[in-house]
Amino acid sequence: MAAEILILLFVFLALLALNVPVAFCIGLASLATIACLEDVPAAAMTAQRMAKGIESFPLLAIPFFVLSGVLMGEGGMARRLMDFAAALVGRLPGGLAYVNTVTCMLFGSVSGSAAAAVSSIGGFMIPQMEAKGYKREFAVALTATSATTGLLIPPSNIMIVYAVVAGNVSVAALFMAGVIPGVIVGLAIMLTTLIVNLRGSAAQARIEAPPFGQALVGALPSMLLIVIVLGGILGGIFSATEASAIAVAYALLLGAGLYREVKLRALPAILLRSARTTAVVMLLVGASQAMSWVLAYEQIPQTVSAAMIMLSDKPLVVLLLINVLLLIVGTFMDMTPAVLIFTPIFLPVVINLGMDPVHFGIVMIANLCIGLCTPPVGTCLFVACSVGKTTIARVVAPAIPFFLAMMVALLMITYLPWLSMWLPRMLDLL
């Protein structure tokens, strides 16, 4: 057992150090490990597990939600949501910073993509904030951290991935469980903005916002996507997978019909971009299922669970240890592969401690959201620095207060389970 696990770790880390894409690292490490097992055909088993891993009805939702997110990004929704956010909080002192966060929360939830929120919102908001007296690096840090809230507020692709890997976890329950935690993270970021800029001239600046009614009318069609998706799922009208297809139809209707900002000639490029993103996710899912088989064959989850319980049988300590490990993992691994790899390892541990898998899924996603905006592999941080035309080295210091705020929010989400579980239980989803 020990030899096979060493092979798995060595091959995976060696390929990762050589900058090989994570999906290939996972797949090749699994193949090498299975090849060391007796009486197990390595190539056939790896191919079988990968094919079986993506043979899942809930996973069909991912390509549709990805496509709807791209359509939302191209269809002028970002500007309308920005106007609505400005009408809500723009007249407050330092309102432009709050507009940034609220818009990222709205657009991230509608599009389901943190990176899309950074590029769509940051391209406009970062120059605007700089013109109002905010430092460019501060604006970049704010945008990068705010965009991650959209991964907690439904609909969210990463929640679907977690539900598939965890098994027997309701996507609808996960969607509703993420609402309050997502809002808490957003409020923590806004409070940090207030504290950091308490005495600066930018903190007193207000912006000219459109009338609330006009802004609401403009943004309402975009926000209705969330209502349609969640309302249909909770009402039993359609499943999460069927809701994703409806989201595509609705996003296309808005972008090409109502707003007329998505041209028909642009559809092939939009479809190609969505297909590429989907292919990466599906390859990761398939490869991770092969690794999950290896871990289960070698009884790694049971070993890790026993080892953690030996360290401490107190849930508070074990959850803190898991959070620390995930924070470290998030600094060098993207969210999707981290969820795929570590869910089978840590989920049995928390279940033994009496933790609900839905609650743990929200904790894991909230944790790994921090990794999206921390170096060296923070996707949102890279995109925000590119949009803001600055360097990561300059952004790290202004981003530290936001990291701390997100960690405080993570502790609240971890140790106050009712924040995640209240809505699903109230709606009878658990």
SS3 string, 219-254, reads HHHHHHHHHHHHHHHHCCCCCHHHHHHHHHHHHHHH
pLDDT number for residue 415: 94
Is 346:313 a contact under the CB 8 Å cutoff?
A: no
The number of beta carbons lying within 10 Å of the beta carbon of residue 393 is: 10
pLDDT at 404: 94
Q: Are 14 and 7 in contact (CB under 8 A)?
A: no
Handedness of CA 219, 221, 225, 227 (dihedral sign): positive
Which is it for the CA torsion 175, 219, 144, 414, positive or negative?
A: negative
The separation between CA 100 and the C-alpha centre of its own chain, rounded to angstroms, equals 18
Residue appearing with tokens 């809701």? 243
pLDDT at 202: 53
* Residue 206: per-residue pLDDT: 60
- Global pTM? 0.84
Give the C-alpha separation, 146 to 401, whole Å: 13
pLDDT tens sequence across 160-196: 889 888 888 888 899 999 999 999 999 999 999 888 8
Tokens 């996972």 belong to 26
d(CA 72, CA 277): 15
The pLDDT, as a whole number, for residue 207 is 64
CA gap 157, 366 in Å, rounded: 14
Q: Own/partner pairs for 307-310, CB < 8 Å, 24+ apart?
A: 308/349, 309/349, 309/352
What angle (nearest 5°) sits at the alpha carbon of residue 160, between those of residues 26 and 341?
25
Which tens digits make up the pLDDT trace of 332-360?
777 888 888 889 889 988 888 889 999 99
- Tell me the C-alpha distance between 243 and 39, whole Å: 44
Residues of the chain with pLDDT under 50: none
DSSP structure class, residue 58: G
**Amino acid identity at 198:** L
Q: What are phi and psi of 132, to 5 degrees?
A: -90, 5
In angstroms, the Cα distances linking 47 to 11, 28, 32, 37 are 18, 11, 13, 16
CB of 182 closer than 8 Å to CB of 117: no
| Average pLDDT for the chain | 84
End-to-end alpha-carbon separation of the chain, Å?
A: 37
